[in-house]
């Protein structure tokens, strides 16, 4: 899968990738982050924020008791400032309606035990409008929309291919 990479120390989302992905911010989002999805417990209006962010959460039985969360339309940019971005954060922009987004999220979730494998990237390519991964020090972005890719290229992203993950995983076996 063709993608883009930006070396940076900005784990904010959308942060340095906003110019290329702003049309996707209004979509459904599958968020997979170890420490989140949102950091709000230190806020004075914690209870209000918890209720608001929870109102965007779609119930996906397969994701209960996991670090995977599917959010309905509009969660970003409203709550992006609170999103926890750790060293292995996976974000997926999904099209709707809600049941369609749920099916696609579950398809991606079926690969959760085998992140960054060939099967994972095939699931992403067939279901997601965009896949975003933050690894300590860089963002990788995989998009269907070519104009968004062009915007990110203009912002200093370099082209990559998902095969680098697959080859790295296979060489470790």
Can you give 99-118 as a three-state secondary structure string? Answer: HHHHHHHHHHHCCHHHCCCH
Distance set, CA 31 to CA 57, 98, 132, 170 (Å)? 11, 15, 10, 26
pLDDT score at 136: 83
pLDDT score at 43: 81
pLDDT score at 171: 64
Structural domain harbouring 161 = 2-172
Above pLDDT 70, what percent of the chain? 97
Nearest-CA neighbor of 147 among 23, 5, 10, 12?
23
Nearest-CA neighbor of 5 among 160, 115, 124?
160
pLDDT score at 168: 66
pLDDT score at 172: 60
Q: How confident is the model at residue 4 (pLDDT cuts 50, 70, 90)?
A: very high
Alpha-carbon Rg of the chain, whole angstroms?
15
Tokens for 48, please give them: 């209000």
> What residues are paired with 58 via a beta bridge?
70
* Calculated CA dihedral for residues 131, 144, 2, 17, nearest 10 degrees: -50
Q: Does the reported pTM lie above 0.85?
A: yes
Q: How many domains does the chain divide into?
A: 1
Q: State the average pLDDT over residues 93-115.
A: 95
Q: How confident is the model at residue 70 (pLDDT cuts 50, 70, 90)?
A: very high
């Amino acid at each position: 899968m063709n993608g883009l990479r930006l070396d940076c120390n900005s784990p904010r989302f959308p942060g340095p990738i906003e110019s290329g992905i702003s049309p996707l911010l209004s979509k459904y989002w599958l968020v997979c982050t170890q420490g989140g999805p949102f950091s709000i417990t230190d806020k004075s209006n914690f209870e209000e924020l918890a209720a608001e962010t929870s109102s965007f959460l779609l119930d996906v039985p397969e994701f209960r008791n996991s670090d995977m969360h599917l959010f309905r339309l509009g969660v970003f940019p409203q709550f992006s400032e609170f999103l926890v971005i750790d060293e292995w954060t996976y974000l997926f922009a999904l099209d709707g309606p809600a049941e369609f987004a749920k099916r696609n999220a579950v398809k991606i979730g079926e690969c959760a035990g085998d992140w960054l494998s060939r099967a994972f990237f095939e699931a992403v390519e067939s279901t997601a409008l965009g896949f975003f991964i933050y690894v300590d020090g860089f963002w990788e972005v995989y998009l269907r929309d070519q104009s968004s890719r062009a915007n990110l290229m203009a912002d200093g992203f370099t082209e990559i291919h998902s095969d680098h993950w697959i080859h790295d995983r296979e060489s470790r076996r």
